[in-house]
Amino acid sequence: MSFIGNIVAGQAASAIGKYNQSVYSAQAAYQKRQGEIAKATYDKVTRPIFLKQQKSQYSTFLVSALNSGAEFRAGTSPYLAGLEFKVNQATDVAIQDYNAEMNLIDSFNRSILTESRGTAERFKGDLTRDTEFAKAGGKMFANYQSSGSLLG
């Protein structure tokens, strides 16, 4: 009657596989949501603060340039310095935006990998279940061959 142990082991392996898949699915959903929250925080909080700081920095630069007594008009050194300052600030914003988007994509990719681990766990449980059921069938057949009864 050891085939009963194989049947129980098969059922347990299947249940464990399903449970592990559900755990990985929950973890994947959490990772995806974390990425969405981080992106929303960047868009609604961090980016506006960054833009406000840049505006303040440019104002400080402009006041400093005007206080120097040099003319601030197209073609002059202070104007060109201000133009470069604005280009650098725009580049910084573009880099920040790119990094925020890449972090979101990275969190989605991590969630997909985690989800696939769950699928693999489910497959492993089902494969173990099928193997244990096959063992049980083999033992029952051997019992029948030797004693004429499935129970042995």
The tens digit of pLDDT for each residue in 83-128 reads: 999 999 999 999 999 999 999 999 999 999 999 999 999 999 999 9
Task: Identify the pLDDT of residue 75.
Answer: 86
pTM over cut 0.75? yes
The tens digit of pLDDT for each residue in 12-70 reads: 999 999 999 999 999 999 999 999 999 999 999 999 999 999 999 999 999 998 898 88
pLDDT grade, residue 138 (50/70/90)? very high
The C-alpha atoms of residue 107 and residue 41 are separated, in whole angstroms, by: 15
Helix count and strand count (H, E) for the chain: 3, 0
- The angle that helices 3-41 and 77-147 make with each other, rounded to 10 degrees, is 170
Task: Identify the pLDDT of residue 126.
Answer: 97
Least confident residue range of 77-81, 97-101, 145-149: 145-149
pLDDT grade, residue 1 (50/70/90)? low
Closest CA relative to residue 16, chosen from 114, 131, 128, 125: 125
The C-alpha atoms of residue 71 and residue 108 are separated, in whole angstroms, by: 51
Assigned token pair, 133: 């059921």
The C-alpha atoms of residue 73 and residue 79 are separated, in whole angstroms, by: 6
First to last CA, the chain: 6
Assigned token pair, 105: 């994509």
